[in-house]
Structure 1
């Protein structure tokens, strides 16, 4: 009987075990299936990243995203947007971004979420996207970066870039292709691989791509033809005279120019009487090639002295046909319209210029004209794809142009009668109010002013060599005394010429005053910079305070230098 009970109990336990095992297995399978279903609420993502180098010194990254279904559920919710990102330390170099799908632009906006590590961009789809079953959807995000390519030596360039896009969820894979202008001379072989004989294409494949990827890479290449070109500022000054003439001067500030032998300026349609100046004077007509069409293209061969320079200033002056850019609305109402950028052309200048940090435009109207809007306008961080126009309404009575000479003629006649009467009474002759403009004196002033700047630069260089003990104390004193004596003579000659040029008229007097003020500002900023360095060496200020002060004083000094360059270019223009 006891054996029978034991056998019955064993049989019962066996039956329970057989029931529990299948139940447990089914439950496990159900849980796994539920987890996979949960994972498929979002679509599967794969990314093709193309990294290219644009002449001028830009890096373009194009990401093509493919969204597909996990094929395990047909109940995924439609997608209305997607978030992409990049490392925050590249945000200062990001100058352009866009998103599109099948040629249609998508709305892309930055997300202000205070993330210290990433810059996030939200891409909105025009209608909800469903990727169930075999359906797929792809879209492209493009970025353009500046100042990520630097020249390490004469012909050696170093480029750094984000290797992967940063995403908020894992991607199935990311395939990266880096295309170089010439063969790569060096790159991290543990990250990038070469599959071509020319070494102009490097690859990286990772699967899966983890969310919040923060990996960068680099590559170096050697060439004598890759161009670095950074156009920092364009300042356009428009002068409208009462006799139907529009005169324009464009001032260009270029802060990087490597392997640049020719620069092409894109000017408005119908530009004529074109002249170009730099710090060394006016360019000959043989150094320019001009072609006309829907716009005016001026191809300039730059001087050897400017190639490889880090700070170049050029001035392009020209005239425009009056009725091409002035619209007459009534007998005294006019509108000036000039396009600043040429989006249909796709360039601001050549080499390819993707961005200009600052563009400013000002208009000077005929005397007697009343502007109906701002005569000055400014734009920051202008890309080549933007369409900028400068428009100004003004009122002007054309009779003013005829009235003013008549008025002056009457005044001159009256003045002549008065002078004649005084001469008759006193027998003395009167002195002229203003002297005639002497081009020779202007030319001599420019030469002496530029020589003064060169001597000041030599003295600064000499002081640096002395501080670093590169030259002996005796040699330093002797050479500095020679330079100071020459500088004293030049300063005396400049003072005399300055007074003579001021007598040419109010416009020249104003230029001399601005030159003097800018020169004083430069000297003051140099003293301030030297004082900051002294205080930092003594431990009176922190490294951060030193950096901020040097940036502030350096910017003020650069502004003053720009004023001097602008005035010298204007004076040189007087000589043509």
Structure 2
């Protein structure tokens, strides 16, 4: 009897061991990559493999400072199928992200965060990064990587992390369900260029070159920097940059599948500085568009992306066509036309931004007609008609013109000499008055003069300058007839730039007084304006000396 009982227990034990366990034997591999972009955006890219049908749906956990600043997010399978994602606030400090019905063993999750909201008043940039994802299932292996700019330096990070140039990483195994870990990581020496305005202008030239200009108004929210790096298409050429004062120093080189353009602003950008600049690059004829001699129909397909990683819910695009072009069809369709220029304001649809680093940019598709031969001949035909009309008028009025010319020639010597003398005297007085006005303003700004006295004396000088300007305008035709047309044109160009400088200086002082411009930016721009003023005044003096010496 004991032997029978022993056999019974042995058989029962073998049966229990042989029954397959219902416990999940998950072998999920989780890779989380975190990238800090130069524009202050933070990208969390999760790749999950080893999922099974029994794993759907699944959830992740995030700190609230991440989910509250989400700019864009999506989940997709290895085949590119988009999945539904819900973000649910769990507690005051945490949120849950639920991915519904994954139908693939391999998934990719992308979360784009506005990192500029996490930056303090110091140069230290502190991130609270979720290292363990809080996945509601076992994780066999986790690979975490944080990548920052080359110029950045890790100031504070967990002791179990590995570090190399611009990178932190961690490998973990056998994480339990809901394993969640958030770490504080501090970074210094990283410029963060926030883009406040972006405008894209595309110009198709007559030979078929496609020239792209991108205007940026930026704000430096990180450490001081003397350069801004843009990533252009690899097949672009003749990359350049400029600001309101002219061309900027830049260099370009090809790295991988992009052309890297490094631009040096006119002055070092410190934390809180705003700056506006325009970059330009070209796709040579035949690459995107080809205008052959006998081909009339043309097509342009072009992505409307940005050379800096940005997220925007509104995008301004201008497209300039060659003269005598005819539009057949365009997508996007909501455009306006003004003098061969198409204008778009592309806006977001729902929560998805117009531009985002985790989505393909919108595409411009244009079909148009342009005949190189006819477009070249048409201006020539108009010119020939104009020449014929001028020739007819010339021969009809030949006698009258000759008599008028002779009369002017006889009166020229005496009238020209007197006019030249008055013109020179007027300009010498005007230049001296401008110097006197600047000295007056300097004394007032230094506190050496009352506001009432400054107002009275400056008004008197400005009124006198206005009287001189009238005299100069009346004398210009006489000076031109005396053979100094080039000198008068040079003076007019210099005067125009002086007027622009005067307006710019006034605006600069107003912005400085109201605190919209820092002191070092004010001093740099003031120096630029003063250089332009001195250059233009010297140009006027040289022209006046040329007139007086002949």
Category of TM-score, reference length = shorter chain: 0.5 to 0.7
What is the root-mean-square deviation in Å for CA atoms of aligned residues? 5.4
Question: In structure 1, how many angstroms separate the alpha carbons of the residues matched to 2:30 and 2:234?
Answer: 41
What's the counterpart of residue 237 of structure 1? 201
Counterpart contact for 2:251–2:261, Cα < 8 Å: yes
Counterpart contact for 1:99–1:105, Cα < 8 Å: no
Aligned counterpart for 1:414 among listed residues 370, 389, 407:
389
Tell me by how many angstroms 1:310 deviates.
3.9
Tell me by how many angstroms 1:393 deviates.
0.8
| 1:157 matches 2:122 | no
Counterpart contact for 2:204–2:322, Cα < 8 Å: yes
What's the counterpart of residue 278 of structure 1? 243
Counterpart contact for 1:246–1:319, Cα < 8 Å: yes
| 1:94 matches 2:70 | yes
Tell me by how many angstroms 1:447 deviates.
2.8
Counterpart contact for 1:149–1:159, Cα < 8 Å: no
Counterpart contact for 1:106–1:124, Cα < 8 Å: no
**What stretches of structure 2 of length at least 5 have no aligned partner?**
1-15, 331-341, 348-353, 406-476, 481-487, 520-525, 527-532, 537-550
Question: In structure 1, how many angstroms separate the alpha carbons of the residues matched to 2:283 and 2:153?
Answer: 46
Counterpart contact for 1:231–1:356, Cα < 8 Å: no
Tell me by how many angstroms 1:159 deviates.
1.9
Question: In structure 1, how many angstroms separate the alpha carbons of the residues matched to 2:382 and 2:229?
Answer: 45
Partner secondary structure for residue 323 of structure 1: coil
Partner secondary structure for residue 372 of structure 1: strand
What's the counterpart of residue 84 of structure 2? 109
Tell me by how many angstroms 1:277 deviates.
0.8
Aligned counterpart for 1:302 among listed residues 232, 247, 265:
265
Counterpart contact for 2:234–2:257, Cα < 8 Å: yes
What's the counterpart of residue 512 of structure 2? 458
Counterpart contact for 2:87–2:95, Cα < 8 Å: no
Question: In structure 2, how many angstroms separate the alpha carbons of the residues matched to 1:122 and 1:209?
Answer: 16
Pair 418,244 (structure 1): closer, same or farther in 2 beyond 3 Å = farther
Mapping of residues 133-282 of structure 1, within 5 Å: 141-147=109-115, 150-153=118-121, 155-162=123-130, 165=133, 179=146, 185=155, 194-195=159-160, 218-221=184-187, 223-224=188-189, 226-256=190-220, 258=222, 259-268=224-233, 271-282=236-247
Tell me by how many angstroms 1:402 deviates.
1.1
Mapping of residues 431-450 of structure 1, within 5 Å: 439-441=493-495, 443-450=497-504
Mapping of residues 51-130 of structure 1, within 5 Å: 52-56=34-38, 57-63=40-46, 78-79=54-55, 81-84=57-60, 86=62, 90-91=66-67, 93-95=69-71, 97=73, 99=75, 105=80, 107-111=82-86, 118=95, 120-126=97-103
Question: In structure 2, how many angstroms separate the alpha carbons of the residues matched to 1:324 and 1:139?
Answer: 36
Tell me by how many angstroms 1:241 deviates.
3.8
Tell me by how many angstroms 1:360 deviates.
3.8
Question: In structure 2, how many angstroms separate the alpha carbons of the residues matched to 1:463 and 1:153?
Answer: 17
What's the counterpart of residue 302 of structure 2? 338
Question: In structure 2, how many angstroms separate the alpha carbons of the residues matched to 1:107 and 1:317?
Answer: 35
Counterpart contact for 2:191–2:220, Cα < 8 Å: no
Per-residue CA distance 1:456-497 (angstroms, 9 max, x = gap) = 2133249999xxxxxxxxxxxxxxxxx9xxxxxx9xx9xxxx
Per-residue CA distance 1:279-316 (angstroms, 9 max, x = gap) = 443224xx434559976443323343335454322112
Pair 170,360 (structure 1): closer, same or farther in 2 beyond 3 Å = same
Counterpart contact for 2:34–2:146, Cα < 8 Å: yes
* Aligned pairs, number: 394
Aligned counterpart for 2:371 among listed residues 397, 413, 416:
397
**What stretches of structure 1 of length at least 5 have no aligned partner?**
1-32, 70-76, 128-136, 188-192, 342-347, 466-482, 484-489, 494-576
| 1:383 matches 2:360 | no
Counterpart contact for 2:130–2:182, Cα < 8 Å: yes
Counterpart contact for 1:272–1:318, Cα < 8 Å: yes
Pair 404,51 (structure 1): closer, same or farther in 2 beyond 3 Å = closer
Tell me by how many angstroms 1:406 deviates.
1.6
What's the counterpart of residue 323 of structure 1? 286
Pair 178,275 (structure 1): closer, same or farther in 2 beyond 3 Å = closer
Counterpart contact for 1:108–1:121, Cα < 8 Å: no
Pair 220,138 (structure 1): closer, same or farther in 2 beyond 3 Å = same
Counterpart contact for 2:62–2:97, Cα < 8 Å: yes
Question: In structure 2, how many angstroms separate the alpha carbons of the residues matched to 1:114 and 1:152?
Answer: 25
* TM-score, scaled relative to structure 1: 0.52
Counterpart contact for 1:178–1:202, Cα < 8 Å: yes
| 1:373 matches 2:350 | no
Moved more, 291-300 or 380-389: 291-300
* TM-score, scaled relative to structure 2: 0.54
Counterpart contact for 1:231–1:357, Cα < 8 Å: no
Per-residue CA distance 1:152-192 (angstroms, 9 max, x = gap) = 3553222234566466x6768997968586776568xxxxx
Question: In structure 2, how many angstroms separate the alpha carbons of the residues matched to 1:461 and 1:148?
Answer: 22
Pair 158,423 (structure 1): closer, same or farther in 2 beyond 3 Å = farther
Mapping of residues 511-550 of structure 1, within 5 Å: none
